[in-house]
Amino acid sequence: MWSKSLGFTTVIGFESDLDAVELLYTSLLVQATSAMMRAGSRQDRHGRSRTRSFRQSFLASFAIRIGQRLRAATEQASEQAAAETGDDRLLPVLAARTDSVREATETMFPDIVSQSVTATDGEGWASGRAAADLASLHTRDQVTADPTG
């Protein structure tokens, strides 16, 4: 939950999930910032800076695309778990957890208002989406049995 007037975000969820969320958020923030800085500053055809609009569009696009990728990964993991176990009982448990978090959010923030994101720089939008497609969603490196590889 983002509170613009107070300048902070509240993350609501189960204790077991919050550490992973913090680690993933930090990783994605570093990845987005690095990609955005590599893209450099921007100017319009008259030499005026458009870096701010580029970066705002970049970050909005990055965040939206990461959200899409995380939703797809969640769906895939749920389907895979059900297929591997042959047991659909996991899905109601996950749904109950989702409902519990939603109820807690609505209780804590009864006046939630959704706001749309605006992006005014097409190049920033495209660059942010491309960076999000390349971003790692893994919170730790894979360990292989082969020490050389």
Nearest to 127 by CA among 67, 26, 56, 75: 56
Q: Is the pLDDT of residue 146 over 80?
A: no
Contact of 73 with 137, CB cutoff 8 Å: yes
Tell me the per-residue pLDDT of 61-96, one tens digit each, with 9 for 90 and over: 999 999 999 999 988 887 887 787 776 666 777 788
Q: What is the pTM of this model?
A: 0.79
Most confident of 1-5, 137-141, 144-148: 1-5
Contact of 9 with 2, CB cutoff 8 Å: yes
Q: What are phi and psi of 9, to 5 degrees?
A: -115, 145
What does the block give as tokens for 104?
Answer: 């807690």
Q: Is the pLDDT of residue 52 over 90?
A: no
Count, residues in the chain: 149
